[in-house]
Chains A and B, each alone.
Chain A
Amino acid sequence: DAGVIQSPRHEVTEMGQEVTLRCKPISGHDYLFWYRQTMMRGLELLIYFNNNVPIDDSGMPEDRFSAKMPNASFSTLKIQPSEPRDSAVYFCASSLAHGGVGEQYFGPGTRLTVT
C-alpha cells in the first residue's frame, strides 16, 4: 500500500482565497483524521470521521473550516476564506481500530502558507 496520500504537498495562497486540501486514506481503514501542526500549538486534532461520517469536529477552529468525506477513499479539508494565521502543516491520518484506538498512519502533510 502507498500509505496515506495528501495533495498538494505545498500550497501558497493569498489571504481571502479558498484552499482545498486532499487526502486518500489507506485502503480498508475506517477512521480518518485531520490534524493541524504549528510550533505554538503542536498537533491539534481538527476533525475525524468513522466510515465516512464526521464524528467529532470540535477541533475545527471556526466556520471558515469545513471537511467532507464523500467516500471511503477520499476526504477534503477546505478553508474559505483563508487567513495568515491558518499557515501551518496539515496532516491527514487513517486508522483501523479494533475495540478501541488503533495505530494512526499519517500522510506526509500539506504545508500551507497564507500571505
Chain B
Amino acid sequence: GENVEQHPSTLSVQEGDSAVIKCTYSDSASNYFPWYKQELGKGPQLIIDIRSNVGEKKDQRIAVTLNKTAKHFSLHITETQPEDSAVYFCAASFSDSGYSTLTFGKGTMLLVSP
C-alpha cells in the first residue's frame, strides 16, 4: 500500500518568513495530493490540492509543488502570519473512476511567532 513520509515534524518561523513542508510517497500510481490544515481542537480542513498532471498550483500565499519523478511534493507558505500556526498534513491517493482512500503523513506542527 501507499506510504507517505512528512518532514519536518515541527517548524518554527518568524512572522513574514516562508515555510516549506515536504512529503514523499511510495506508490508511483498516486495522482492526487491534498494538504490539510488542523487547528487546535478542530478537524483537518483541506487548504489546497494538486493532481499529477500539474507541477505547481498556487492560491494566494499558499503553493504546492509536485515532482513525480522523485515522488515528492511540498507545501510552501509565504509571508507567514500567526494564524497560519497549526498542524499541516499531506496525503496521497490514486484517483480514477473508482474511489481510493487518502494516506496521510504524520503531520507538521507549524508555529509562527509574531
Contact = CB atoms under 8 A, between A and B. Distances in A.
Interface of A: 4, 31, 33, 42-43, 45, 48, 50, 55-56, 91, 93, 97, 99-101, 103-104, 106-109
B43 A50 contact: no
B: contact size bracket: 20 to 34
B95 to A, nearest CB: 3
Contacts, number: 54
6 contacts: A43-B107, A55-B99, A101-B99, A101-B101, A108-B41, A109-B42
A103 B93 CA distance: 12
Interface of B: 32, 34, 36, 41-46, 49, 89, 93, 95-102, 104-107
Contact of B42 (A48, A50, A93, A108): A108
A93 B100 contact: no
